[in-house]
A and B are shown apart, each in its own frame.
Chain A
């Protein structure tokens, strides 16, 4: 295994442990969204997916 892979793995592990406390705090403090809240997220995400499909067909 080359050192580039080892350095990347070390950076990912560090990133995981740096994000972990924020993730715990967010899960604990975030309100639970209603169905309409989640729909307001799902609809633009579906548009993003369709847009990416269009981009793929362009290249």
Chain B
């Protein structure tokens, strides 16, 4: 009897995990498409850097203050779309800049980001390794990266900027492993929060890869 209950609980837990993973990837793909459309709109409208920064700041504000309050209800989905749309819109001028220098950079960065995300997700899902031990490392890494960005905003050292982009890719790659593992092992049970975390990782990897390729590429 006890064994039957354990088996039922275990299969229920596996079903819940599978449902969480399926919902997260479905919502993630929809938000990525929506964000891509808004990024294209930002490019077509030839948005200024000031407007792009405004859209990004509103998106980050919604991510930090509105999403945690709504993520446990259906209201979390439109908020998530607003966040991802605004962050996509904010990419417009950056994409226009790289497209004018070398359109190949944008395509390679886009494809590269996709390969990194799918590869790391597949690795975490296939090995089912618990990466919860990385939480402190990732968050402290984020703080160090933000501190370095702030410093370089005033110093403007190109090599430091390149090193920051490299570090951001590593931290966000670690975050993909951490978040995917949390979905498998029960550390994350909300698919809206999981989607938001993965979206931010993908966005950061993409922009950092753009920067590195733009800096080190032939053009």
A-to-B contact residues, CB < 8 Å: 3-5, 7-9, 11-13, 15-16, 18-20, 22-23, 26-33, 37, 40-41, 44-45, 47-48, 51-52, 55-56, 58-59
Contacts and interface: CB of A to CB of B under 8 A. Distances in A.
Given A23-B142, A27-B140, A52-B169, 20 more contacts: A4-B50, A5-B153, A8-B153, A12-B153, A16-B147, A26-B139, A27-B136, A30-B132, A30-B134, A40-B131, A41-B174, A44-B120, A45-B170, A45-B173, A48-B120, A48-B169, A48-B170, A56-B212, A59-B217, A59-B219
Contacts of B115: 51
Chain A at the B interface: SS class: helix
A13 B150 contact: yes
B174 A45 contact: yes
Tell me which of A3, A33, A41 has the highest count of chain B C-beta atoms within 10 A of its own C-beta. A41
B198 interface: no
A19 B139 contact: yes
Nearest to B217: A59
Chain B at the A interface: SS class: helix
Contact of B104 (A4, A26, A41, A59): A59
Interface residues of B, number: 52
A44 B173 contact: yes
Interface in B131-145: 131-140, 142-143
B170 A37 contact: no
Nearest to B52: A4
A11 to B, nearest CB: 6
A32 B133 contact: yes
B108 A58 contact: yes
B25 interface: no
